[in-house]
């Protein structure tokens, strides 16, 4: 509105106002043409799925639906079925363990490495760059490589651990025992997430003014005290962002688990992401799949709010 009215003469009559207003109006529309295609695309590929998933969660889908196009509404049937399904409750629990475990590991190791690489020494930049490789490789590929390493009989990890006497002859069933598989998936995901945490936290560390450390050193502050009283508080905004982004990408994980364990053994690594996939694309019950998807969105939405609050300062910037 401001772009349209502000160039118009303040004292002008109605006709003069509309004549002067037409050109800026056209210019305003032309400007919107720059943004419109991306907006339309985002509405189709993000907005539509969000709405469609809510609708679908109240519809009865069968494989037949794809021939007849008929998906009758069935009230809360899908929701009741999903919430009564033990697999869903298990998946909820696995997702929580997987997410918390992954974040703790990724963040702690990422921060330690970021602090370490903040020291000045030869090859620091080179090593930091090469460490990014695990994050850049497709997740399915990483998962497949780990599947080989963690194999109980021929995997390199058991061979090595047995050689130094840490595990018995038959090794640890990393991926083949329900009690261990989720932990293995967490360890692999920690490995994948370390580079991302390290890079962002390293960037945050570089922003902390050197003078603060010099002052602390003059006051006789030891390394741990300096870390707790300067590094951590100054790094807080970056830490929030890194944890929230990590949460968003971990809670919905699918690639890693499908390629590593396919949700097994005995559903011990099923998460909300894999259950959605299984319900929709393997059992072809898109209605129930949509219910789990909506639960996933709900959980993400809570953290999206956290993310936006953490980013609030950034919204004031720019034009």
Partner 1 sequence: MNRPMQRPASLLLMRSVWNTAAALLILAVLLFPVYWMLNTALQPESSIAGTEWFPVSPSLKNFDTAISTQGGSLLTSFVVALGAVVVCLALAAPAAYGLAQFGLRGGQGIVFATLITQMVPGIVIANALYSAYAQLDLVNSYLGLILADASLGLPFAVVLLRAFMVSIPSEVVEAAMVDGANRFTAFVRIVLPMSRNALITAGLFTFLFAWSDFMFALTLNTTDDVKPITLGIYQFVGAHVSDWGAVMATAVLSAVPAAILLVVAQKYIAAGITGGSVK
* 111 versus 259: smaller Cβ distance to partner 1: 259
| 10, 120, 165, 169: which one binds partner 1 (CB under 8 A) | 120
- Is residue 113 within 8 Å of 194, Cβ to Cβ? yes
Name the nearest CA neighbour of 239 among 102, 104, 56, 44. 104
Q: What angle do CA 245, 94, 194 make, to 5 degrees?
A: 35
Q: Please, what is the minimum distance in Å from the beta carbon of residue 13 to partner 1?
A: 26
CB of residue 15 to partner 1, shortest distance in Å? 25
**Is residue 304 within the footprint of partner 1 (CB under 8 A)?**
yes
**Residue with smaller CB distance to partner 1, 14 or 313:** 313
Q: Alpha helix (H) ranges present in 69-177?
A: 77-84, 86-117, 124-130, 133-136, 139-149, 156-163
> Where on the phi/psi map is residue 71: left (φ > 0), alpha (ψ -120 to 50), or beta?
beta
Total chain residues near partner 1 (CB under 8 A): 99
Binding residues for partner 1 restricted to 47-86, rule: CB under 8 A:
48-50, 52-53, 56, 66, 69
Q: Is 46 in the site for partner 1 (CB under 8 A)?
A: yes
119 binds partner 1 (CB under 8 A): yes
How many whole angstroms separate alpha carbon 159 and alpha carbon 171? Answer: 8
Residue 248 as a binder of partner 1 (CB under 8 A): the answer is yes
The answer to whether 161 contacts partner 1 (rule: CB under 8 A) is no
Among 6, 11, 224, 318, binds partner 1 (CB under 8 A): 318
200 binds partner 1 (CB under 8 A): yes
Backbone angles phi, psi at 238, to 5 degrees: -65, -40
Taking the least distance from each CB to partner 1, the nearer of 113 and 182 is: 113
Residue 16 or 116 having the CB closest to partner 1: 116
- Would you state the structure tokens that stand for residue 250, as one six-digit string? 């971990």
Beta bridge partners of 59: 73
User: Using the rule CB under 8 A, is 138 a contact of partner 1?
Assistant: yes
Q: Which of residues 1-30 bind partner 1 (CB under 8 A)?
A: 1-3, 30
Q: Is 120 helix (H, G, I), strand (E, B) or coil?
A: coil
């Amino acid at each position: 509105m401001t772009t349209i009215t502000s160039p118009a003469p303040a004292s002008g009559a109605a006709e003069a106002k509309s004549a002067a207003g037409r050109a800026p109006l056209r210019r305003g529309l032309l400007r919107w043409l720059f943004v419109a295609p991306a907006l339309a695309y985002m509405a189709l590929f993000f907005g539509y799925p969000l709405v469609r998933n809510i609708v679908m969660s109240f519809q009865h889908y069968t494989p037949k639906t794809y021939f007849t196009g008929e998906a009758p509404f069935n009230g809360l049937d899908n929701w009741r079925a999903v919430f009564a399904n033990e697999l869903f409750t298990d998946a909820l629990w696995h997702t929580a363990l997987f997410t918390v475990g992954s974040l703790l590991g990724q963040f702690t190791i990422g921060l330690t490495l970021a602090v370490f690489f903040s020291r000045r020494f030869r090859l620091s930049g080179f090593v930091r760059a090469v460490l990014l490789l695990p994050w850049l490789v497709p997740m399915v590929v990483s998962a497949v490589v780990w599947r080989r390493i963690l194999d109980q009989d021929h995997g390199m990890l058991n061979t090595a651990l047995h050689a130094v006497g840490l595990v018995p002859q038959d090794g640890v069933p990393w991926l083949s025992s329900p009690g261990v598989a989720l932990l293995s998936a967490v360890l692999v995901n920690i490995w994948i997430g370390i580079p991302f945490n390290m890079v962002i936290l390293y960037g945050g560390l570089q922003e902390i003014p050197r003078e603060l450390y010099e002052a602390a050193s003059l006051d006789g502050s030891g390394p741990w005290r300096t870390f707790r009283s300067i590094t951590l508080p100054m790094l807080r905004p970056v830490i929030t962002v890194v944890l929230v982004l990590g949460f968003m990408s971990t809670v919905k994980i699918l690639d890693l688990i499908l390629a590593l364990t396919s949700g097994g053994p005995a559903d011990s690594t099923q998460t909300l992401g894999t259950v959605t996939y299984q319900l929709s694309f393997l059992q072809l019950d898109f209605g129930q799949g949509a219910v789990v998807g909506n639960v996933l969105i709900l959980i993400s939405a809570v953290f999206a709010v956290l993310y936006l609050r953490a980013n609030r300062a950034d919204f004031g910037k720019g034009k």
